[in-house]
Amino acid sequence: MKTLKQLLADRSRPLAVVTPNDTVYHALSVMAQHDVGALLVLNGEQLVGIFSERDYARKIILHGKSSKETLVSEVMSDRVAYVTPAATLDECMALMTEKRFRHLPVLEEDGNVAGMISIGDLVKETISDQKFLIEQLERYISG
Question: pLDDT at residue 140 above 90?
Answer: no
The confidence band for 12, taking pLDDT boundaries of 50, 70 and 90, is confident
* Phi (first) and psi of residue 76, to 5 degrees: -70, 160
In the predicted model, what is the mean pLDDT of residues 20-47?
96
How far are the Cα atoms of 54, 58, 96, 137 from residue 43, in angstroms, in the given order? 21, 23, 24, 49
Question: What one-letter code names the amino acid at 47?
Answer: L
Q: Which residue has the higher pLDDT, 18 or 129?
A: 18
Q: What are the tens digits of pLDDT across the range 86-136?
A: 999 999 999 999 999 999 999 999 989 999 999 999 999 889 888 888 888
Check if the beta carbon of residue 21 is closer than 8 Å to that of residue 31. no
Report the topology of domain 4-142.
Answer: CBS-domain (3.10.580)
Q: Are strands 38-43 and 17-18 parallel, antiparallel or unpaired?
A: parallel
Instruction: Give residue-wise pLDDT tens across range 44-93.
Output: 999 999 999 999 999 998 898 999 999 999 999 999 999 999 999 999 99
Which band of pLDDT confidence, cut at 50, 70 and 90, is reported for residue 1? low
- Is residue 142 scored above 90 in pLDDT? no
Domain ranges of the chain: 4-142
Cα gap 66→125, rounded to integer Å: 38
pLDDT band per the 50, 70, 90 thresholds, residue 35: very high
Inter-residue contact 52 to 78 (CB < 8 Å): no
pLDDT of residue 48: 97
